[in-house]
Copies of this chain bind each other. A is one copy, B any other.
Amino acid sequence: MNYAIGIDVGGTNTDIGLVREDGRIVDKLNLKTNEYYDAELYISDMAAKIKELMGRNQVTDIQGIGIGAPNGNTYTGSIDKAPNLNFKGQVKLAEMMRGHIDTKVVVSNDANAAAVGEMVYGGAKNLDHFITFTLGTGVGSGIIIDRKLVLGSTSTAGELGHSIIIMGGRKCGCGRCGCLETYTSAGGIRRTALELMEQNPLYNGVLRNIAPENLTSKMVGDAANAGDPIGLQTFENVGTILGVAMANAVTFSAPQAIFLMGGPVHAGEVLMRPLRKAFNENLLNIYEDTVDIRVSELADNEVAILGAAALINM
């Protein structure tokens, strides 16, 4: 069996996993990202953890190290000005890591890594062309064409969460208006539920009893699945907008499948039913019956490490 290391750099935690070629995470260790202010020390400790993982699992050789990180740049192997990390400017992750461990090191952002993870370990093993959408704090996406990750000229291609789906629509954290993620991220779902409650003063269901600041997209999904009208209408709206966005994405790269991942996807059919309906209604006829809408085959709590490990196959 061959092994790779997959590292998920988050603002709080850095998860380091030893991944077997069949996609099993054999073992993992953790660093507290936010306790580090010195990138050299951070990467040196990361390398020590990798060696510890290899040692205690009797793995003497790895095929490479993949790192998924906010603003991870595949061309430069660096993290560039990530807003949630203590390290300022450009951190040359790949180069610094190779100073400790002489192997292939590939860096990318987490949404791109998730797409490569789906290709290597998930439901896209036999697909040449597909797109992934990750619904979470934001909406991430990764685009695979001819089994290659689309990086574009900047390594930052595949930001479909920031394509404008409604001109002049909701204000987005990025400063612009109408981005897909303002409607279909976890926060967007929350926002839709709150708007709908405001528009329906007579609504007196389960979501009304939750203080707005405590409302989560999971609660809205649970309510929808229990038949709550605001919950259902929220996912109807979210699914419809996402369905149109996916139909638009098809006009770009004519994929064989689009994969959905992330927490809100667990709402299940209350999301998927309106999504499929809007997708089919808005799909250009030449693409009819050529694209599957699917749920990721990677577990939410494993996709970050698996995606990162998969990067070494790029």
Mark A residues whose CB is within 8 Å of B.
128-129, 143, 145-146, 148, 150-160, 162-167, 174-176, 241, 244, 247-249, 251-256, 281-282, 284-287, 290
Bound complex: CA A241 to CA B150 (Å) = 25
Nearest CB in chain B: distance from A275 CB, A: 14
CB contact between A167 and one of B148, B150, B166 (< 8 Å): that residue: B166
A287, B248: Cβ atoms closer than 8 Å: no
Copies in the complex: 2
CB <8 Å contact, A253 and B154: no
Q: Is the CB of A176 within 8 A of B145?
A: no
Which residues of B are found within 8 Å of A244, using beta-carbon distances? 164, 167
- Interface class of chain A by DSSP: loop
The answer to whether B247 and A156 have CB atoms under 8 Å apart is: no
CB distance from A249 to the nearest CB of B (A): 8
A176 and B255 form a contact (CB under 8 A): no
Q: Which of B151, B153, B159, B256 contacts A251 (CB 8 A)?
A: B159
Chain B nearest CB: distance from A90 CB in Å?
A: 14
- Shortest distance from the beta carbon of A239 to any chain B beta carbon, whole Å: 13
Contacts of A151 in B (CB 8 A): 254
Q: How far is the CA of A282 from the CA of B174 in the complex (A)?
A: 10
In the bound complex, what is the Cα–Cα distance between A241 and B164 (angstroms)? 11
**Whole-angstrom CA separation of A2 from B282 in the bound complex:** 45
Q: A252 and B164 in contact (CB under 8 A), knowing A152-B129, A176-B284, A284-B174?
A: no
- In the bound assembly, the distance between CA atoms of A284 and B162 in angstroms comes to 7
Q: Which residues of B contact A284 (CB under 8 A)?
A: 159, 162, 174, 176
Most buried by B among A160, A281, A284: A284
Return the contact of A150 from the options B145, B154, B174 (Cβ within 8 A). Answer: B145
